[in-house]
Every structure is written in structure tokens, then in C-alpha cells.
Structure 1
Amino acid sequence: MARKKAAMSTAERLKKKKECEKRRRERLKKDPEKLKALQEKKHKIYLKAKVTGKVKLVADFNERQKRQKRKEWRQATKKYRNKKKEEEEMQAYLQENLQNVCDSERVNQEGNENIPCTSTYSERERVSTQKKKGRKQIRRNKTKSYRQIKKLEAVNSALMKKYHKYKKRYQRLLKGKEKTPTLTPNTKVKKNLRGRKVPDDVRRKLVFAEVITKELESKFDSIKKSEREKQIFTKVISGRILKKYRMLTHTKHFLPLKLHLANKRRSHELIYERQKKASIEFMKRKVSDFLEHEGNSTLCPGKKDVVSRNGKQQQKRYLNNTLKNLHAKFLQAENFRISYSSFCRYKPSWIVPRKVHERDTCLCAKHENMKLLVQKLHFLEIIKERNIDDFLKALTCEKTSEECLARRCPLCTNKHITFTEKEFDFDEQTNVKQWCHKKEKVLSNKTKQMITIQKTTKEEISCTVGELIQMLENRIVPFMEHILNIKHQLEVMRNLKTHLDDSQLVMHVDFSENYACKYASETQSVHFGASKEQITLHTGVMYTAGGIKESFCTLSKSLRHDPYAIAAHLTPILDKYLKQFPTVSRIHFLSDSPSTQYRNKTMYALISYYIPKTFLQIDSITWNYSEAGHGKGAPDGVGAVLKRTADRNVAEGIDISDIDTLVASLGEHISGVHVQVVLEESIKDVELVMEDVEIMSFPGSMKVHQLKWSRNSCKVHFRKLSCFICHTDICSHYHMGVLTTSTMTKDPVHLTDFKIGDWVLVTYDGKQYPGEIIGILQHAIEVTVMYPTIGRKYRWPVHKDQHTYGLSDIVKKIDSPTPSGSRAAFFVFKDLMSQMTLCVMFNLTILVHLNFYLFSNNYGKVN
């Protein structure tokens, strides 16, 4: 029976594996091709890890990680240099000993002398080893000492806190014991007259004065809770005679000084005087105006979001912060003081804090993601700030200005995140919730084809603590810019509304949620089916000089919310108010900033071409956009009032089945909102007018917050933020670019401009093709077209592509093509090539020739 091999220990197994790896590396070093292949494989793995983010560059580290990495580099460099130095010393020592050995052997051979060849290498090696062990022990001891010092410092700090706490407690205890006992009036007089001879009548008067003082103190203590009795009591005590003989200071032991000061402003009759109602109303109005500001509360757009008090209905507003924080903000903004209890008491009833069951569905994604990050880091005790407001205060001045948010303030531009003293591991795994956008492919119910849609979900992202901190640092500057845009747009538009003149008009517009028609009583098929008609509501508020405000709403059967529909909805409203205010020549529009509605190239063309052409009274237009996610305003309240009124009428038994019954119902019950119907044909008319207008895009539209058009320049000027200080078209603060509108209309096409043999650019199925005219008909032309290839070149198709095109399909007339290449199989049109395309083609040509050259050289070397 064969003997079993003894099982290897873990150390032996690791040692054997290490030796095998060493032999494998030696074999690889001898084979250059395998070594090169291995290095390329490692390099590819490194590049992949770099792309996926597993390997981070030093540039992506925060300051703390950079300092740690530099420290590791210094230690590694020092270790490498010491190792090199030791190797050089060892080589020099071996060479010296080798020379001595050779000399001694040569002497032995020549002189036949048996002189032993001694060497001190072993002794030197032993000394060097001892030195290394000693230095290692010293380093170990130093590290241990540093750790002990840190621990002792922490213990010492805790003990010092306890020492100061108990010391203060002891001092308070002593202070309480040292209080003098309450003395009777007789004892006080005896103590004051000790060692003095005073007549008895004088002594009796002194005792009487002490007794009266004692009586007044006891009376005041008994009426401290009654405001009425307290006021009358102070009127009795604080009079002109006490002031004349300078005895008011003797009442300070039982009567506060502020009551004396209050009595100076009151009459001296012994009656209770209430606080003036005017001051209370003033305080209520100030608190109400402050809380109704868009930065402190948000208007609810829903028709059910209403508060009723004493038969009066008000649209509900939700507080954006706690009442404690808003009270502190109010005290900083106003010159007078008000207590927290009075601030809460004067809060209007329709401004309420958010409740748990009230779901907010219009939050800003940037704010929510930043809030979740700050809350997570505070939970991990890495930062002290609990919310976004505290976080911004830590990075800016006490009164945050636009300079602070733009990181241009000299006082706070160098402020950074302050971490707590708690030690934490950068590589520790954690998770944070974030709102993420994802693209998914789904089957369309209409086309029955796969389409790509974008879904927003709240996901839990797994990352390290270091990555979480880096994520926060990367978002600070964009988030502060986001806050700056919000504050600037709100402040600028508020100042504009309060400083309007007779030539200006402001219109704040927005689409409300479509209204679904209802019956007072419905059958099951109507209630659950698709029989209900929906109506589009485009709401707004108009502001003019003198504080005049008017609300309006346009309704339409068309459910389109695109720019052409917006222009159709605005046309009757502008027609009404421009006739009502004939001196108005400048209009300022305010809206939110969705790219599918108000902020796109089609809307730019409508502002600069359609509106000025329709209304010759207008000389200047500005369109101002609120920051994305923060577009709630007065138009939402108008829509809520209209839909709530319509629903109340339905509940009272009125059927609202179409747009006509809705308009009739609103006109009967609402007089403060101008309601008008927009037909579907009006939207088509706008499209027809804009059919011959060349719509040009503007790069960077998502950053535009104001565009300005004037009839003098016929140009659209784009600005990063709204500005009404600069009266010129080009803003010196926020200018972004210009679009020229004088050449926006297309030149009309006529058949007389063409003949057989000309080349034209035609449109087919949404794409453009160049072709040669081979026939001219009565209202069309026959063209044979070319197909595009790579590099903006064109070729004739295998089978001739000949088709008849109408005048609307002809884009423009172009020059004849020039052959490209030796075989003339491809053609180039100079009219269809921009300078950028030529540069790209030139670069591609160079790359092709360079690749061909490298391939030829390598092929020659291989052969």
C-alpha cells in the first residue's frame, strides 16, 4: 500500500505557489513576444478599469485623498532610494573584497606563502542587519507613541470638559448658598442705622418706607400674569414725582425698566390702554407678504387645494421651510423685531406646512438629489449640516448674495466643505438614494412598434464614502448656479412688476392641466370609458403700470401644447390688451422653461416674426424663463380657480359636456377672469403663416433665461439671465449670442427660374437629395437624383431614380457637381459642403493616407 503524502500547511502551500509564480515570470521574461502580449493585456485591463471608474485618476481625487496619495508616493520614493543606496554600497563592498581576494591569491602563488584570505563581509552584513532591526524597532515605537498620544489627548479633552462642567456646577451651587436671607423691614433699618443715633420719628419713617417697598414687591409678584393689572400697577408707581426726585431706580428691584419706558408713551390716567390696532394690522400685512413670497412658500396648482375661512376661499400655499427658520429669515429682512409666537399667530390661514399624507409632485430633481446627498452625509456624521439651507450658509456669507452663489465673493470664495472630527474610512461601502433618468424600449400602443422612452426612478446607488464626498463636491458649483438662477429670475421679475411705466406690459403665462368634461350624473360606460372630452387651458396674469392686474384664460378643443398653439392662444389676448392700453409698445413675457413648449427654436421664430408681424404696435419683446423645476406662479392659481368653479357647478347639477357649456358656466360664475375660446383653425393658420419662415436653432438654448427682440435691429439677442438694466440690445452682463431675423423668410420658387439641365436640391420623405432636371411640367419638374455616400460625396444609383417634384419640394438651385476620384464614380457639390465639412474631409484624407502608409511599412517588414 502506497504511503500518503503529508498534507502541506498553509504557509508551505503559499511558499510553493510563490516559487511557481517566480519561475513562470522568469520564463515570460525570456520570451519577448509572450511578455509583450501580457503587457498589452494588462494595459487593456487598466484602460477598461479606467473607463468604468474602478481606477481613479489623481485629478478626480478630492484634496484629502490627494494629500494621502502624495504621502504614499513620498514614502515609496524614499524606500526605493534607500534600497538603491544599499545595493550600491553592497556592490562597492563586494568589488573591494574581490580585489583583496585576488591580490592575496596572487601573492600565495608567487611566494608560496600560505596567507589566509580573510573577509569582514559577514561582520558587515551582521552589523547592517542589526542596524535595520534597530531602525525598524524605533519606527515601531514612534508609531506606538503617536497612537498613545492621540488616545491620551482624546481622554484629556473629555476629562477637561467634565472638569469645567463640574466646576461650573459647583460655582452655581456656591452662588445659591451665598444668597442673603430675606430681611424684614425692621432688620433692614437696624442694619442701615448701626452705629448711628437717629430720633425715633425718623426711624419710624424709614421702617414705613421699607414696609411700603415690601408691600409693592408682593403685590407685583401676585399680578405678574395679568397684563391689564400690570399696566395699571406700573402707572401708579411710575409717575412724574418719582422721576423729579430721581427715585425711579429704587423700583427696579420689583418693576422692570421696560414697563417704565412703555408708560412714558401712555397717558397717566389709571385705565388700561390696548395696543393700537394699526400696528397689529401692519405686522400681519408684513408677515403675510413675507410668507407669500415665492421663495418662502409655493402656490398649489390643484383645484382642490383651497382653504375656506369665514366664507372666503384662498388658494393654498405650502411653506418651503420650517416656521423657525422662516422667522429667523424674517428678522434679518425687516428692521423691526417680532417674537416667534406672534409670527406664528399672524401667519395667514391659507399658508400651511406640508403634511405627511400630502404628496408633492412638482419637486426639482436637482434640489431633491442634493438634499438626499446632504442628509446621507449628515447621517454618517461626516458633515454637520442637516439640510440644503445650512449647507449653503456654510459655503457663503451670512447674507447670501448673487456674488456668493457665483463664487466671486472675496469673503467666501475660498470656503469649502468642513468635515467633522469623527474618523471615517474612505473605502467603506454605503448607499444613497437618487433620482435617475433611464431610457427603456417599450411597445407603442398606437404604432405597435418599439419606441424609446425616458423613465425617472428613485434608485439606491451603492458607492464608497470617498465617492459620496466626491459626488457632493462635483455638484456644489452647478447647484449654486441653479440657486443663483432661481433667486435672480424671481428678484428681477418682481422688480420689473413694481417699476412698470405706461409703455410696458408684463404677461405671466402657463398651460394648466387639461380639464376633463363631466356630467352631473354619468352612466358606467361614460365614467370609465373614453367618452369624456378634454379641454386645453392656457392661463395667465397681465400686469401694467399703477399696479393693475388682470387674469385671463384661453380654452381650446385642440390638445396641442406646442409653440404654434401657444401663439394661437396669445393672439386674442394680445389683441384685447393692446387695444385696451394703446400706449404699450414693450411686452415682457414670463413663463416656465420646457423645451417642448416655450424654449425652442420654433418659439424664437414666432417671437421674432409672427407676433411683430401680427401686432405692429409692439416695438420690443422680451421672453423670460424661470429656472427649470421652479416655474410655479400666479397662472397656476387662475387655472385652479376655473376648474374648481366648474366642478362645483357640476356638483350642483349642471352638465359640462363640451367647451361651449364650460365657457357659459365660467362666464356666469366668474367675473374676475377673462375667458376666450381658441379654435383649432387658428393654430393651423399660425402654421400656415410660418410655413415659409426659415427656423434657425440657437446652440445652448437650455441655458437661455431671456431673449430680446426689437423692431429696430430685427435680431434676437439671447441672455443667460434676465437683465433690464442694460437698455441696449447687447447685454454687458449675460449676453450669449444673436440670431438675425431679417433673412428668416425663404425666397419664393418659380418654374421660370429653372430649365432642363439645371441642378436642384429636392426633398423626399424628409431627406434632401441633389438631382438634375430632365423635364418641366405645368406645376412640377422631373428630376433624376443622386444618393449620398461617405464624406459628403454623391453617386448615381444603379437603377435610375427619376421622380416628379412639386414647387414645395424644391429647396434651392445648386451648381453642377464636380467629379471626385480617378474613376469619376463619385461627385462633390460645393454648395452642400460647409467649411467644417471640408476640414473634416481633409482630416479624414490625411488619416486614410497615414493608415495606408503605416500598413505598407508593416507589411513590408513582415514579408
Structure 2
Amino acid sequence: MGKSKAEIQKAYRERKKQKEGEAYLKKERERVKGYYVPIEEKPQRKANERRKKVREWVRQHRLKKKNLTKTVANNLEQTKTVANNLEQCSEISSSSDVTSTVNIVTEQLIVKLPSLATKKRTRTRVNRANAKHRRTIADLTDKNELLNRKIRTVSKRYQRLINREKKTQTIIRNPTTSSSSRNSPSTSTSIALTPRKRTIQEIREEGLTPHKVPKKIQEKLLFANVITEEIGAAWKSNGLKGKHVLKKIVNGEIIKKYKMKKMLGIKSGIRRHHFKATVCSNKLLSFPLLRKRVESREILRGDVVTFLERDDNSRMMPGKNDKKKTETGHIQKRVLNDSMLFLHLKFKTESPKKISLATFCRLRPKHICLTKHLSRNKCLCQKHQNMALALKNMKTSGANVTINPDEFVRQLKDKPLPEILSEIRNENVRYEQWKKVEMADGKKRTKIVEREETRDSFISIVHTQVRDFQEHVSRVRLQYQALNNLKENLPCENVIVQMDFAENFSCTSADEVQSAYWNSSAVTLHPVVVYFKNEQKELEHKNYVFVSDDLGHNIGSVLYHHSKAFV
């Protein structure tokens, strides 16, 4: 039967040992040592496996050493026993024979015995504190080595990143500020080189001496560097149109023929994809034109904002905290009087510019809120709020209507009012209205009054209310149109004054006592806006606010504030 591969290899090693001796063993030790990996650098699983093997090797070594010690001790006892027996038998044997026998036995049993005294000693006493400190030092040493390995790993990674950045800067350069900010593609230095210095450096990098190179060759290299420098500077400084013209000039048939596009991009900083040709045509890709006209877009945005800020389209919220923070500061909030859909239609009828509903909604500024914020507002129109409450009650009773009064008026053009009211199914309808109610002290105050009417009575009330509301909406629109017309055609020496009472505000003292809470006083604010035209016939306005402790909103107060405004 033939030998296995392992047996063949073993026989080969034996022959090498016999032939080369210690040199072969030394060579094998160095070879095996080169494969050795410290246990700290191994993964946790393999490290545990090696520790397990080492413990097993140590156990076997100690067991072997223990057995050897026992064998030596037994041999020594046997030697002593034999010697004693030989002394007792001296009468039978001659002295010379005994001596030779003892010498033979003794010479056969001479071994190097280990020191047995150390085995009989007690274990060396070790201070627990010192042992703990040594363990701590060992743990910290391991952690330090682990952190050092991590530092080396991160350092190598960082160095690779730096080398990659240098290589990228060398191959593809992008000019920054001037034509002297680009270097030769054959060097990784970050020092800005002029075309002449770059020419000299390129000659030296090729192993040549500049003054030994013919002058004509130097001039041609310098000319090439100057041209590429100029092209790169022109590419950087010009806009899209200039780049488009430059691309048509430098990207011709000759540069394609000699395959110099890449070199042109490296030298001038122009990326190659700008010169890439389409698959279907031999024409080069043109630079994209301006898809958005910034100037016209800003004009359109201004027109939309001006339209939405008109008093007939939105109203300003009166609260001090009703403001919106923007990039330029705080702006008082405004609430739209109608939906964005209707305002978009209204804007298209007034303006010849084409704009989609999505763009119109996107151009709405942040400080102009939608109509849903009306429910949180104050100082609203009583007729609008009563109509909104009536629509809410109609919707609760089964009618399919909107809760926006202005939208409801527009829906009446497509669907008559009797058809809408016929959808009410409840026999008794509860509805709410803002009305003046006489209080117990004889004064009248405006409050929400809840009433219950029959279906026919409610329909009759709604008919009357809708007719009055339509007239009210028509008057409001006519008033806004007249006011806008008056502002546009205002003579230079005339003014328009808009004035009205604002809310009454309570006054408190700084660091007031507790009992002063019930003695707070109030003041009336009377804002006034004056419109006029300046010397350039542009409409301007000025704002005034009159503060008075007279809480009465009557003719006398208006006359007094009017006289103070024009003093």
C-alpha cells in the first residue's frame, strides 16, 4: 500500500533534518514565527481557542514533568536498595566484584535531578492590594494597546483620504480666483504656479535642464500653458452664454481627432461632460438656458403679495401678538377674506399674467393666513358672522352648503336658494345669531342668542338674511373699488384719511399690589391712516394712533381725533 501525503511530507522533513541539521530547524522556526499573530490582535473567538489550547499544553507539560519526577525518585530508591543489598552480601562476593557492580549500577542511573526543595515550599504570599494594582495595570495596558491600534487605523484612513484628495486635485483642477491658481497636472503641490514657472517645472520633471532645452520648444510649451490658463479663466469668469460660446470655440474637430479633450479639461479646469455629444446627433450638448426668469418671477411674486394684502382680499389682525417672524423682521398677520381658489380667479381677471393655482398658492407669503383663522379673530363683521352661523345651522339640519359666506353667495349663481333650502329635513331648527340683548342693569350688549324655529319659519328668516347679505357684499365690493380708484387718481394736494376705533385696552401698573387688580383702568386706541402722493406722484401713507381715557365711541370722540390729526 502506498504512503499518504502526510507520510510522504514527514519522510521529506526527516531527510532534510539529516541533511541540513540545525540550519533546517532554524529556518523552519523562523518560517513558523513569521506566521505567528499575537493573541491581542486576534478576534475574540480565535483568541479564546488559542488560550484553551495553551492551557491544555501546559496541563500536559506539568503532568509529564510530574511523572518524570516520580520516575526519578523511584529509580533513586531502587539504587539505594540495591546498594544496601550488595553491602550485606559482601561475605559472599569479593570486594572488587562488589565495587565494579556498584559502579556499573551507579553509572547507569546518573541523571540530572530537578530541585525538589522548591516543590516543598509553601506558596509565596502576595499582597492583595499589589495584586489588584497589577491586574489594573494589565487591564489599562491592554486598553492602551487597543486605543493605539484604533489610532493607527484612523491615521492610516486619514492618510489615504489625504492622498486621494491630493490625487484628485492633481488630476482635476478647478480654477478659483485667478488664472494663476492652477498647477501642473504632473505635480501634487498646492503652490500656485504661473504659466512660465509651470513650464519650467514640467521640463524639470521630465529629467531635463531648462537652459539646455531649445528656446522654440520652451516657447511652444509656454504658449500652450498660457492658452489653457486663459481658457480656464474665461470659463470661470463668464456666465452660461459665455461658456456656451467658449465651448463651441475650443471643442472642434481637431481636438476630437487628436483626443485632447481630457488634457484640455485637466489643463483648463473644464469638465469633460460639458463637451459630451449626444447619441442621436453629432451636435454638442448645449448649456441649459435659464428656465426661470428671476426678474419676472420676483415681479409676479410682488404682484401676488400686493393683491393678497389689499383690504378687499384680506384684513389685518388687530392683536399685538398676531405677528409672524420673517427674515426681515416681524410682520402683522393678515387673514384672507375668501378662498384661494376664488382669489386666483379674481387675480386672473384683474391681471393679464398667466399663473396656475399651484403657483398662486405657493407665492402666498407666510404672514397671510387662510380663512380658517377667521374663527379666532376679533372685530369681525356682524353680518358675515351671522351668515356664517346660519350656514352652519343649515348644514347641521341636512343642507349641503359651504360654511364660507362669500363662497355661498357665489354658489347661488349656479344653484338657486329654494333648491338649497329644500334639503333641510328637520322640522325644528336651532340657529344662533349675534344680537343686542338688554341686560338686568338696563344696558344693551351684543351676545350670541340661540333660538329654535320651525322649518318654514327658519326658511323665511334665511331668505331675508341672504338678500340683505348679498346687498352688503355688493356694497363692500363697490366701496373697495371706489377707494382703490381714489388712491390711484388722488391729486397731489389732497389726502385720504381712514380712521376707526380699535379695541379698548386695560392698563396695569408696574409692580402693582394685589388689591389694584380690581381697580384697573382702560384706554381707547383710535388708529388713523393718511394716504397722500409725494413729489414723484407715488402713493405714500402715514400712521397715527390716538390714545384716550374716554371709553365712549361716539361722534364727539371722532371729531376730537379728527381735529388733532390735522393740526
Shorter-normalised TM range: 0.3 to 0.5
TM-score by length of 1: 0.30
Could you say which structure has the greater relative contact order, defined with CA pairs below 8 angstroms and 6 or more residues apart? 1
TM-score by length of 2: 0.44
More strand by share: 1
Structure with higher Rg: it is 2
